[in-house]
Amino acid sequence: MYWSSRAYYKSVYDKPTINLGVYYEDGGTTGEFDLTWYELGDRLVARLQMFNDAWALLADMAPVFAALSELDGKEPTEQEVFDLLLSVGVKDITEYVNPRGDQEPVQERTVTITIPMSKAKLMDLV
C-alpha cells in the first residue's frame, strides 16, 4: 500500500489518496486501485476507483474488502482507513523520503498502499 498523499511525490495528487494493489518486489503489479477522498458538500468521502483490468483483485483481496466493509456507511478519514488496512496485514511501502535525496522529506499526509506478495501469500495472510 502506498499512502500517496504522504509520499515525497505527493504534489502529483490533488486529493487525499491511498493506493492498493498486488505489487512485485522488483517492480510492476498485477493490478491496483485507489481510495480517493472527495469533497461532497461539507464532508470528505472516500471513493474506490479501479480500472477493469484489475477487477480480479475484488476476489483476490476479499479479506481487505471485508475489512473495509466494516466502515460502510461511515465517513472514515485517511488515517482510519490506513490503520485498518495495516491491522489486516497490508504492508505500507510508501516512499516518505525521496530516494534520490533531491527533495525534503514529506511533512504532510499522503497515503499509498501496496501489497508486495503473491496472491497465495495474501490469502494466507488474512
Domain ranges of the chain: 2-125
* Alpha-carbon span 97 to 12, nearest angstrom: 15
Give the helix ranges, DSSP H, for the chain. Answer: 57-60, 62-69, 78-87, 119-125
- Which regions of the chain are under pLDDT 70? 1-10, 12, 102-126
Global pTM value:
0.71
3-state helix, strand, coil in the chain (%, to 5): 30, 25, 45
Pairwise CA distance, residues 1 & 117, whole Å: 11
Given this model, what pLDDT does residue 6 score?
64
DSSP label of 5:
G
Check residue 84 and give its pLDDT: 94
pLDDT at residue number 94: 81
Record the cell numbers describing residue 121, joined without a space: 501469500
pLDDT at 4: 64
Residue 85, pLDDT score: 93
Beta bridge partners, 38, equal: 45
The pLDDT value recorded for residue 120 is 45
